[in-house]
Structures are given as structure tokens and as C-alpha cells.
Structure 1
Amino acid sequence: MNSFNYFRPLLSKVQGVPSKNQRLLIWAGFQVRQAGLTYKQQIECMEKASHQLQDDQQAQDGFKSDFKAYLNSIKPDKITCFLREVSDFPLFLFIYTTLINVVYNQVLIPVSQQEPIMQTVLIGWSLCLQTIVVYLIYKGLLTYMATDPKRSTLGFWLILMVCFGLYLGSIYISNHVEGTWFSCPLWLWVLLTMAWAVFSVIWMRKKEESI
């Protein structure tokens, strides 16, 4: 699940449906977010779904099969889907790896303890492994949350606990992995990752607006 697709309003952009079909509309939203479509195409698909679901006699199986067939007919190729799926990685890299991991550990903690700031970022297996694993956990959690699970069930909290356990495990394992590829000045690392994140967001918006 792409971060931009998850946090962008989708259901609120279309007409409501009878309460009987509300879960079907949520299901349609999940399918649309997973299809690798632009935001404009997602809105169009949801408008189509909302129109069909105005009929409270709409058969569930018939709607799902027809809607999946419609999405498959407009879905882009696999490479495009993959690129759109990982288009949020630069933003994740800046927020998690740079701000939460590097800046917090190498700047904020030393400053709070009145110790010298670590001026160099070590790029190696440890940082790479932790970034990739946490990114995959984050994507999986977004995908699960997009299904609009019931928060009151035990399964919901078990899944959150499993994700948190995997997160802690990834940190533990990455801290015990050795091997540095190269080093980078802290200021340069922050500047590069921030620039990449900003560029990716602007580029994606312009690309979608041009479609």
C-alpha cells in the first residue's frame, strides 16, 4: 500500500451508499488503492462503484467480480504499478532513516547528554537492513489498515503486536550486523535525503496532474 494512496481522502470524495453496501464501498476503495492507478483514476473508479452501490439490492458477488474485471481492464503494467507502489520510499527514507534514526541517535541524544555530535553517517548493512525491513513492515501495516479492520477484535491488536515485534526484531538484528560500505557527512546525508523526498513528491504530483 502506497502512503500517498492511504492518506489521501478517497471515500469522502464520492457519494455515500446505503448502509447495507458500505462495506462493499470500503472493499472497492481497498482494491482501487492497490491497483496502481493515479489519484484521478481512483476517484473515477470510486464514483463508478458508488453509482452501482446506490442500489441496495446489489449482489455482493456480482459487484466484486464486475469491479475487479473493470480494474483489470484499466490497470497499468506491472513495472508502472511497482514504481508507483515504492514512490513513497524517498519520503520514508527521510522521515524514518534520517530523522528518526540518524538525527535522533547522532544529534538529539548526544546533545541531551552534553556529548559531541556524531558528524558522520555510516552507510552499510546495518542501516540498509533496518530501513528495508521497517519499510516492508510499514507497507504491510498500511495494507492491513486500508481494509478498515474492526479495532475491537483481538485479531486487530495481535497483528499490531506482531508488527511491533518485527520492528523491534529488525532493530536488534541490524544492530548486530557489521559491514560499512562508505561514510557520509551528516549534513550532506540530511540534505540529500530531504531533497530526494521533496523532489519525489513534487514529481509524482506533476506526473499525475498531467495524466
Structure 2
Amino acid sequence: ILIPASIAPYKLQLIDIVEEKIDRRIPLDWPYHFVLKNAHCRRVIPLEETLRMIRKLKNGEHHKVLRMERQILDEYVRYEDIIDRVVLRGSPYTRLPHSIMKADAFWFHARAIRDPSERSEMCRKAIDFHAELLERAETSMEADEVALLTLVQKVTRILAESANFDPQLVVKAALIVDRAEKRLEQKSDGEAARRIKNIRYNLDCVNEAARKHLV
């Protein structure tokens, strides 16, 4: 990983330790995953902010934009490669964060891609990974649990923003929301209600895009 100078020395030591463990194929627990994720975010977020600023400039130089885009994409490819090389401990509390990191990496990577076909392909990977996570979460959580609704919200947002229509996933999301609303009739949970509202909005966007595509 390329480490920005802004990271504190003790965090650099942590990253070095994690990289050494990965190279030596030592199984990692979930805290090490967050060290990797934080290092990646500290690297890529400033690049993305700089790119947005350059794009806003009327005289923004095209070659600078292309160079920044390439650098950002390279960071995502590097991050995904590192995640793939991680050896996991057997605990589900380790496997779940790893799966979430991978799914999120594909999604944010997709948003950074300019080419429509490549972007669509990466979005499909993100959708598939999130769908798998949703399948696992649905079997172990009640429909109104915020953690499950957060995952549904993320999946439906990806579907809405990527214009990828997945009928089975849309139906699954809608059924989870229906069950969640039914459970909330018996209790009050503001956070769950907000998630449901966002999911409904995302589903409306997905269905509207699908209708336009059919016209």
C-alpha cells in the first residue's frame, strides 16, 4: 500500500505489521481489516476530492483529470488485490467484515470508472457481493434490525445508481421492507424507519429506471 505522509507514525507501524502478516500468509482477525481499510481511505479520499475540484474548474486541464482518474483506479485495484491476498481466521466475525470490505471496494471502484461498460461490469460485481451478504444476513437477522436494513439500503442504492435491474434482488428487498414495516407497527425505531424510507426511495428509482428502459 502507498501510505500518505499524513498518517501518524504509530499507524504506519500498524500497517507495516498487517502487510507483513499478509505476505507471510498469517490469518488475520477483523481489527487488521480496518487498518487496511483506513489506510486505503486515507490514500484515495484526498485524491477523489482533488479530482472533483479539478473537474469544477472551467479551465481544468483534461490530461490532469485523466491522470487523477488513472491514479484513483490504480488505488482501488491495489486495494482489491490486497483484500484478495488476506488469509482469514475462521470466525464469522472476521469473514463478514472482509466480505463487506470487498463488496464496498467494488462499488466505490465502479463509481470511479468513466467507461460505461467497465463501470457496469464492476457494478455487477458489487451487486453480486452485496446480494450474497444480504442472503446471509437475512437468515440470521430480523427484518427490522438496522444492520440488515442498512445492507438493503446499500444494495438498492447501488441498483438505483448503476441502472442495473435485478428483479429477484428488487423483490427480496421489497419483501424485507414489508416485513420490517409490519414489525415496526408494534414498536418505535426511528433509525429503522429512516432506513426503510431510503430503501423505498431507492426502489422507486430502480423501478422507474426499469420502466423507462422498457419504453
TM-score (norm 2): 0.29
Q: Which has the higher helix share?
A: 2
Name the structure where strand makes up a greater proportion of residues.
Answer: 1
| Larger-gyration structure (1/2) | 1
Give the TM-score taking structure 1 as reference length.
0.29
User: Whose RCO is larger (CA < 8 A, sep 6+)?
Assistant: 1
